[in-house]
Every structure is written in structure tokens, then in C-alpha cells.
Amino acid sequence: MTTYDPNPYDPNNVFAKILRGEIPNKTIYEDDLTLAFHDINPQAPVHALVIPKGAYVSMEDFSARASDAEIAALFRSVGKVAEMLGVTQDGWRILSNVGSNGGQEVPHLHIHVFGGKKLGPMLVKG
Ligand code: 5GP
């Protein structure tokens, strides 16, 4: 497991490699500023990841440094992906793990999109 390190950005993280085309991915949606693809180890019938193309570790990094266009593009991409994956009728969930307490494994900001079943409680208790 990769250890979270908010600074500096690690250009060898797995999502940076996906963005450079060094690792394949099952792309759902792509535009100039974002990429969305299926998670390699899905935790629900629908499990996608939406990432900015810029080098941002986390949501606090992204919200502090990204341009308004990048921020808008990421959230528009999430909405588009949910529509494309057909989860909007029955409901869905987004999640972004940050840092050690958040359980972040890949140190490039990503938003998980889950759906396709009842997703249960927001957090595991205990
Ligand atoms: P995190 O725990 O950092 O929030 O989530 C990282 C996610 O990235 C995990 O759900 C994991 O399955 C996914 N993942 C890790 N490596 C790859 C990969 O090479 N390709 C894809 N598509 N997903 C990956």
C-alpha cells in the first residue's frame, strides 16, 4: 500500500501512470481536465474513479491550488459519469479518501463513484 504524503506530489503514483498511458484503464469519460475510469477492484456493482488530470494529491490540495475551470470540470465529470453509468435513478454515492485516517492509498486526488445496490451505512462503525 502506498503511504499518503501530501507534499510533494509523487509523479510515479499509479494514477499518474494511467494519465501518462503507462498503465491501461477502462475509460468511462475523458475531457481536457478530467479522466473517469472503472476501479480495478470494485467495491460495488458500479465503482468508478474520477480524477483531475492535474497533479493534485488531495481535496485540500486541489481546492487550494486548482483553477476554477479544473474544479468545475471535476464536479461536472462526476455528474456525467453517474448519468453514463445509470445510477442516478436509484441513487449513488461519492467518496474521497484523504490521508492516513481517510485510508487513501493512491496519492492523486480521486473521487469514488459507487452505485448499483443499496450502499449501506456511510461509515463502518468501530
Ligand atoms: P483510495 O483507497 O486511495 O481511496 O482508492 C484507491 C483506489 O484505486 C482503490 O479502490 C483501488 O482499487 C484503485 N486502484 C488502484 N490501482 C489501480 C489501477 O491500476 N487501476 C484502477 N483502475 N484502479 C486502481
Domain spans, the chain: 14-115
Residue 125 Cα to ligand 1 midpoint, Å, equals 23
Cβ-defined contacts of 25-29 (< 8 Å, 24+): 28/81, 28/84, 28/85, 29/77, 29/80, 29/81, 29/84
Q: Is the pLDDT of residue 68 over 70?
A: yes
Report the nearest-CA residue for atom 12 of ligand 1: 41
> Exposed/middle/buried for 82, CB within 10 Å: 0-12, 13-18, 19+?
buried
pLDDT at 10: 95
| Cα–ligand 1 centroid distance for 14 (angstroms) | 8
Q: Confidence band (pLDDT; 50, 70, 90) for 6?
A: low
Q: Which CATH number fits domain 14-115: 3.30.428.10, 3.50.50.60, 2.40.50.140, 3.20.20.120?
A: 3.30.428.10
Which ranges in the chain belong to alpha helices (H)?
14-19, 59-65, 68-85, 99-102
Q: Is 41 in the pocket of ligand 1 (CB under 6 A)?
A: yes
Q: Each residue of 51-66: pLDDT tens digit?
A: 999 999 999 999 999 9
